[in-house]
Structure 1
Amino acid sequence: MKNHSIQACLRVILLAMCCLITRESRAASFDLPGTLPSMVGGGLGSTTDYAGARDRFVGAVPGIRYVTDGGRLFELYGPYAQFDFGGVTGLQYGPAVALRLGRSHVDDPVVSQVHDVHTTAEAGGFVGYEYDNQGAFPYRLRGSVTVVTNAGIVYSGARVSVNGSLWLPVQRRIFVGTGVGASWVSQGFNQVYYGVTEEDATRSGLPAFSPSGGLEQMTGWLAAIYQIDKHWFGGAMIYYQRISGSAADSPIVTQRGNRNQITYGVGVAYAFK
């Protein structure tokens, strides 16, 4: 796979596969009362080369969800991982790490003349709450906040993401879900990923641009999951991202890309515990 933005990869991972492992396995608890199985799976999806791009690529990624004997939850989706010290429902919190892939050797001949962005590691934590209603109208409602930083290795400051999701069964084996989210970033983040320096402008012909921090994107998604049998699950998802705030004014987006980004994918998962 090319060295694409982690945002593009995470959209494929978390939306084309994570929801086919993490979300659907939680949804499967409607069918399997009292169990939240460990699962392994993979997803295949199409997304843009980097946040704000027009060009697309197809990616395949693995994922693991593992519930420990003590009831703790470990989740790994491609370059993103988190460990929940809370419960599989109720209050959830713990560390989170990610590999943020860089932007280099892109297909766009103009953006390829803008400064490269190196691959780097991010670390931080998350806190959230998940409500599981097992009454006459069962559903799962979850909200979370994640904060990560690069500690100034590639960008300065931090990135904050807020997400909410709702899952409910429409038949015994079919589940549907929807979610919304938003991300806020530091000026240092936007300068690296959306900025155009004077040197970049001379090489590429794009106007120089120095973005501020703030709201970077708003997101929404729809998904459907089918429980094939006791162990196997499959599903599909479509994800919408709207580049927002100062990032949306970058010539990388306005002249060479699109602030409206679509990702879609399919995936399968196997429950083994």
Structure 2
Amino acid sequence: MYKRPIMLAFGAALVSSLLLANASASGQEASPYSVLNFSSQPAAAPDWIVTLGAGAQYGPSYEGASKTNFSVLPSDLDIRRAGEPEGFSAPDDAFTYSVFDSNGFSFGPAADFRAGRSRSDDRSLAGLHSLPFTIDAGVFGEYWFIEDRLRAHVEIRQALHGQQGMVADLSADWVQPYQAFTFSLGPRLSLANGTYMRNSFSVSNGEAAQNDLVTPYRATSGIKSVGALASAAYRFNPAWKATLYYKYDRLVGDAADSPIVSRIGSSNQSTVGLDLSYSFGVKF
């Protein structure tokens, strides 16, 4: 689903970070996030904690597809001050950075990847326009109604390439820690503007003439999908964490009525994924 060069670059960065990180240093009690030190001096406590993650998921080849495939993608990128507690992040959250955090409310910039679509995903797409891979950028807002238990999360993101439109993703999560585990469960709602819907789900007269599986169709803005996500994270130690998750989305409205979905693909979208993240300390 995602472009291989970007995945390779991220993988190289992740491997490099792992090679430069060390969990402890001899000679004194050290932070579990101490950075690798080649000198004989004990490692100093870090100033910042950096978390990088990558994951594999099995799900639709493109939005609205009935065919599925495996993909590898970055799953976590976080920087926080040493001593600051690790915050909760759902597997489908975008990459976010909080510029304001007070009384359970936070907001800041957000960015994410948006998968493309081409005939290589499904031969039944012959004659239909392709969608290039792109990056979304925008803002997020989050509020914890019950501290560390119940949160509401909103993201509004605009595609930076190909005029592919804007999406707004709304979610809520109940978070339940249990020893080394953290479980979460909550509903999802996604809306899209007219540009996004036309690019993803409309069919022109010319395309319909080249593909007898579809008919001309024009999608408009509105609710795109509803669904839910469940996850279970296990922290092996302060550095390593694994997260298993399942997400279900059902396309609705103009998205579900599109012949790209109703005649070629499916309105039911299920994704299973496994993420692995590593945290290490950095001192400046």
Q: For this structure pair, what is the TM-score category when the shorter chain's length is used for normalisation?
A: 0.7 to 0.9
Aligned with residue 235 of structure 1, among 229, 240, 243: 243
- For residues 64-87 of structure 1, what are the alpha-carbon distances to aligned partners after superposition, in whole Å with 9 as ceiling and x for unaligned? 221146969999x99953221123
- Secondary structure of the 1:110 match is helix
Identity %: 23
User: Structure 1 length normalisation: TM-score?
Assistant: 0.75
Matches within 5 A, 1:202-221: 202-205=209-212, 206-221=214-229
Are 1:192 and 2:199 matched, yes or no?
yes
Aligned residues: 235
Contact 1:72 1:86 in 2 (8 A): no
Contact 1:73 1:85 in 2 (8 A): no
Aligned to 1:176: 183
Contact 1:95 1:126 in 2 (8 A): yes
Are 1:47 and 2:55 matched, yes or no?
no
Contact 1:223 1:236 in 2 (8 A): yes
Matches within 5 A, 1:1-273: 38-62=50-74, 63-68=76-81, 80-87=94-101, 90-130=104-144, 133=147, 139-150=148-159, 153-156=162-165, 158-169=166-177, 171-205=178-212, 206-273=214-281
Quick one: which amino acid aligns to residue 57 of structure 1?
N
Q: 1:69 to 1:230 in 2, by over 3 A?
A: closer
CA positional deviation for 1:41 = 2.3
Q: 1:87 to 1:119 in 2, by over 3 A?
A: same
Quick one: which amino acid aligns to residue 118 of structure 1?
P
CA positional deviation for 1:272 = 2.4
Quick one: which amino acid aligns to residue 65 of structure 1?
D
CA positional deviation for 1:124 = 1.7
CA distance in 1, matches of 2:118, 2:84: 41
**Could you say which structure has the larger radius of gyration?**
2
Aligned to 1:16: none
CA distance in 1, matches of 2:239, 2:72: 21
CA positional deviation for 1:222 = 1.1
CA distance in 2, matches of 1:73, 1:231: 12
Q: 1:226 to 1:79 in 2, by over 3 A?
A: closer
Contact 1:3 1:104 in 2 (8 A): no
Q: 1:101 to 1:268 in 2, by over 3 A?
A: closer
CA distance in 1, matches of 2:117, 2:102: 35
CA distance in 1, matches of 2:246, 2:72: 16
Q: 1:220 to 1:38 in 2, by over 3 A?
A: same
Compute the RMSD of aligned alpha carbons: 3.2
CA distance in 1, matches of 2:86, 2:56: 24
Contact 1:145 1:163 in 2 (8 A): yes
Q: 1:81 to 1:192 in 2, by over 3 A?
A: same
Q: 1:69 to 1:239 in 2, by over 3 A?
A: same
Gaps of 5+ in 1: 10-35, 134-138
195-204 or 172-181: which moved more?
172-181
CA distance in 2, matches of 1:238, 1:47: 10
Quick one: which amino acid aligns to residue 98 of structure 2?
D
Quick one: which amino acid aligns to residue 93 of structure 1?
F
